[in-house]
Amino acid sequence: MPKFAIETPPVVALPIAGSDALYPVRRVYCIGRNYAAHAIEMGHDPDREAPFFFQKNPNNLDPSGRFPYPPNSDDVHYEVEMAVMLKSGGTNIALDGALGHVFGYALALDMTRRDLQALQKKAGRPWEIGKAFERSAPVGPVHQVSNIGHLDAGAIALKVNGELKQQGDLNQMIWKVPEMIAYLSEYFELAAGDVILSGTPAGVGPIARGDVMDVAIDGLGQMTVETV
Ligand code: MN
C-alpha cells in the first residue's frame, strides 16, 4: 500500500442490479444535443453536426434517489438519459468492436443549472458551473450486458409529480452508443470505469424542491428521485 500524505478520497462505486459487487467510476462523459427534437427545443439545427461532449465528475453520480436543489440557480432542469458503463477501453476503437467495451447500462439524470449554463454559453465559457455540480447526476443501478443485452431501442421517459414531461425512444439518438465510444476514443483514452451519458430527448424543463421525478427506460426499469 502506498502512503498518502492526506486523507484519500473514496472510490465512487455504484450498485449493480442482482449483484453484491460495485461498479467503480473513473470518468463521466456527457454528449450534448443527441436527440433531434431536443436540439430544436434548445434553438439548434438538428442536422448531424459532429458530436460534442462535456464532463461531469465521478462523484456527481448519486444513487441515493434524492436530489438536493443546488445553490445559485433559479432554473434547474431535468434531463433523462441512458448511462453507458464501460468495462474496458483504449484509443481509436473501431466501430464494430465498440460495444464489446460496454459493461452495462443505467438510468440517469443530467441535472442542469440552465440559467448558469445559458450565461456560460453566451460568454463562450465552459459549462461545468451549469453541469458538474454536487450530486448533479442521479443514477440507478447498473444492469449488466450479460443479463439484459445491449439497448439500442425502447422508450425513454420522465414524469414530474406523475405528469409526463419527456418521452422519446433510444433509437432516436443521432449518435449511437458505438459511435460515441469510437468518437471519444479518438480524443481520449477510454478505460474501465468510464461512464457516458447518452443525451436527452425533448421536453426538458424546470423542477422545484419537493418535486418527484420518475424516470424509465425499457430494459432498465424505473427510478424515482425526490428533489429536496
Ligand atoms: Mn444532457
User: How many angstroms does the Cα of residue 108 sit away from the middle of ligand 1?
Assistant: 10
The CA distance from 153 to 105, in Å, is: 13
How far is the centre of ligand 1, averaged over its atoms, from the C-alpha of 60 (Å)?
Answer: 14
With left for phi above 0 and alpha for psi between -120 and 50, is residue 167 left, alpha or beta?
beta
Rounded to the nearest angstrom, the distance between the alpha carbon of 212 and the centre of ligand 1 is 19
pTM (2 decimals)? 0.96
Q: What is the pLDDT of residues 93-107, one digit of tens each?
A: 999 999 999 999 999
Residue 106: strand pairing partners = 83
Rounded to the nearest whole angstrom, what is the distance from the C-alpha of residue 8 to the centroid of ligand 1? 30
Nearest to 82 by CA among 57, 62, 108: 108
Can you give the pLDDT at residue 58?
A: 98
Split the chain (228 residues) into runs of 10 and give each run's mean pLDDT: 93 97 98 88 78 97 98 98 98 98 98 97 96 98 98 97 97 96 98 98 97 98 98
Please, are residues 163 and 38 in contact by the beta-carbon 8 Å criterion?
Answer: no
CA distance 88 to 192: 4
